Chain A
Amino acid sequence: MYSFFTAFDPYLMLLCFSGAAMGIIWAALPGLSTTMAMALLVGLTYRMPTEMAIIFILGTFTGSVFGGAISAVLINIPGTPDAVPTQMAGFPLAKQGKGGLVLGMSITASMVGNWVGILLLVTCVDYVLDIALNFASWEVALLALWGISISGTLTAGEAPVKGWISGWMGVLIAMVGREEIHGIERFTFGSQELLLGIPYIPVLIGLFGLTEIIMVLSQPQPYVIPQKIGRIFPPIKEFLKYWKSIIRSSIVGLITGIIPGAGANVATFVSYGLGERFTGKRFSKGSMEGVICSEVANNANIGGALLPSLVLGIPGSATVAAFLAALNLHGIVVGPTIELEQPGIMNFMYGTLIVANIGMYLCAFALIKPSVKLFSLPREVLLPVIALLCVLGSFAQKMSMFDINLMFGFGLLGFCMRKADIPIGPMILGVVLGNMLDQNFRRAMVIFEDENIWRVLIDRPMGTALIIIVLITFISGIWPKKKKKRI
């Protein structure tokens, strides 16, 4: 029998805090993703009693979702794909010596996001699931398309078409391998390694990690991150100044979390994009508000993603799937009968999430100063060391040398793209979401095959709304440019 207060047992809390610290450190290392951390730690929890395993894994989960922001802000290499918007808004500020404050702000934003996620999980399970269940293949495909196109608009500055090209290339890269509907090979050229597709981890490490290494070391005088970090704890007044962005990003994080497959990648980009749109500011030149938008959405996503996973048994993201695997290992079957089969387990998880959130907050603040010290080492020393981590990160997922070669190839591609002023962020989002878009789009096409197009538009209002939003994203990407020309 589990209960809410079991999670507040001092020993369990300590275990949760150590999980959070491990998660933060793991995700701060470029290329070592949240999913990988979860997958590795599932094995470690095998011999633990169930409540210890749950609290440790949820601590790791919460910590690793934030951890990606550390390397994103301090070395311009996002630890996870979700941290790309944080990197865009936070790194320019870190170069100005505000690295500590940016991280402090992002930790606080993460904590607020987590609280919102927990509150949702506790209070509006049924209502939110009703919305989620209205998202069928058609809507999921459109949501993925929106995520990719909005990331293109956001990252490309004055030429959104370059961002869209990058995102579209990412989708085409995701098409490589055996497709899952008919089992037909696409663009594999007879290669056995390509049959399973191109994994996103080597792509992420190559595009961001190796590209950054080449770009920075080719500068005769690489930039330095100032060691003096000044204030870390953000002034509450300044944080609360962004209350509108906090509320908006929480909602975005939650909704994208509960939609199976959409995940934190879409949440952070959409929240960042909406933030720019609502405030009329460009976050990419360095903005606390941009960091807040991204981090709140990223963390609110945890509660959102756990909701369908625990109640319906549908994992909201790959990371949550790893969490479900850990629960399964301990004999916990998720789904509509979870409360009947394990009375009190949901209450225990609510308590655990609260402890994990507190743990993440404390550990993250404790780790800021050492992180800034470490990442402010001269780039000539730090970046070659990171190259070693890039190799380890690419290899660790599948133990494949081919993935290291892929990572190198994508590193060179990223270097050429940055020289041509083509943003690399949308490409990674395209790679992550491409397969989901493909499968859901084709499933929807089969369902709609004999239907009248107007009927589809009327019967599926959420899909129609998403079509309009996608169109607005494209039109608004082109429109400001025309306006400038007229002036």
Chain B
Amino acid sequence: MELPDQKIENKSLWMASTDIVSSLIVMAVAAIVAVWSLKMSIPSGWASAPGLVPLMFAGTMFLMGLGLFISALRHKGLASLRTRLTTFSGKHFIQDTQTKRSLWIIVLTAVYMLILTGRLPFEIAGFLFLFSTFAVFWEKGRWLKIIVTAIVIPLFFSLTFRFLFSILLPGDSIFDYFL
């Protein structure tokens, strides 16, 4: 069993290795933005150049990324990252409950927001999303409760937003076909 001090040290090592990766991403993004900013046209001098502020912010962000990288190195981030990479097991990662739940919710929201929304009427897309998320995360097996809730909520939102606030819904509403 881990002692509290060990736990804190492990957490700090974990975070230091994460900081190594984040700082590298930050520096890469900052460098790319800085280069693009330099390439922007300068219609009337540097003082009003469109690339001036992005360049300044990208430059200082690069320095902040560098600071984070150095701080992570001091906290043994590189060694910790090496250990994490060598001991990484794809099988264990996938089998972890939290990972599974994260993947489920990301996939379900991606399907709902990027594929179903806009292609199906709002109420149908909403029902499919709610039904599937309730089935995965809520009370498994209580189908009637899940189905009724998944039908009622999108209908309620649709009526409220479409008719009370006169807001168009993504993918239109089934009521548009009937009324």
Contact = CB atoms under 8 A, between A and B. Distances in A.
Interface of A: 40, 43, 159, 161-162, 164-165, 168-169, 171-172, 175, 179, 181-182, 184, 186-187, 210, 213-214, 217-220, 378, 380-381, 384-385, 387-389, 391-392, 395-396, 399, 401, 404-405, 407-408, 411-412, 415, 419-422, 437-438, 441-443, 445-446, 448-449
A408 B99 CA distance: 19
Contacts of B52: 441-442, 445
B134 to A, nearest CB: 7
A392 B113 contact: no
B48 A442 contact: yes
Nearest to B102: A218
A420 B18 contact: yes
B144 interface: no
B138 A388 contact: no
Contact of A442 (B19, B47, B134, B170): B47
A445 B48 contact: yes
A213 B109 contact: yes
* Residue of B98, B105, B167 with most partner-chain A CB within 10 A: B105
B10 interface: no
Nearest to A412: B106
* Residue of B21, B26, B50, B112 with most partner-chain A CB within 10 A: B50
A218 B138 CA distance: 13
B53 A420 contact: no
A218 B105 contact: yes
23 contacts: A43-B166, A159-B68, A165-B64, A168-B60, A175-B54, A186-B51, A187-B33, A210-B109, A384-B129, A384-B134, A385-B153, A387-B129, A388-B157, A391-B170, A392-B157, A396-B161, A405-B113, A411-B109, A420-B18, A437-B53, A442-B48, A445-B52, A449-B45
Interface in B121-157: 126, 129-130, 133-134, 137-138, 149, 153-154, 157
Contacts of B21: 420
Contacts of A441: 52-53
A412 B163 CA distance: 32
Interface stretch (B1-9, B36-44, B76-84, B85-93): B36-44
B133 A384 contact: yes
Nearest to A445: B47
Contact of B134 (A187, A381, A446): A381
Contacts of A445: 47-48, 52
